[in-house]
Amino acid sequence: MDAIFYTLQDFMLHSKSITYILIGGILIGLMLFWLFLAGRDEKKRTF
């Protein structure tokens, strides 16, 4: 990565954008994992 930060504002904006992307990915991953677990329970019911 060849990013050059000339001001503190540039660095803070870059750090925040990476943080938001990571948090968004984690939330999507948790949602998919929850759907995986919830779908798994429905198949065991054999009434």
pLDDT digits (tens, 9 = 90+) for 12-29: 999 999 999 999 999 999
- Identify the H or E element spanning 23: helix 8-42
CA dist., res. 38 & res. 31, Å (int) = 10
Number of neighbouring beta carbons within 10 Å of residue 38? 9
Sign of CA dihedral 23, 29, 32, 37: negative
CA dist., res. 7 & res. 36, Å (int) = 44
Point out the least confidently predicted range of 2-6, 22-26, 35-39, 42-46.
42-46
Note the pTM of the prediction, 2 decimals.
0.68
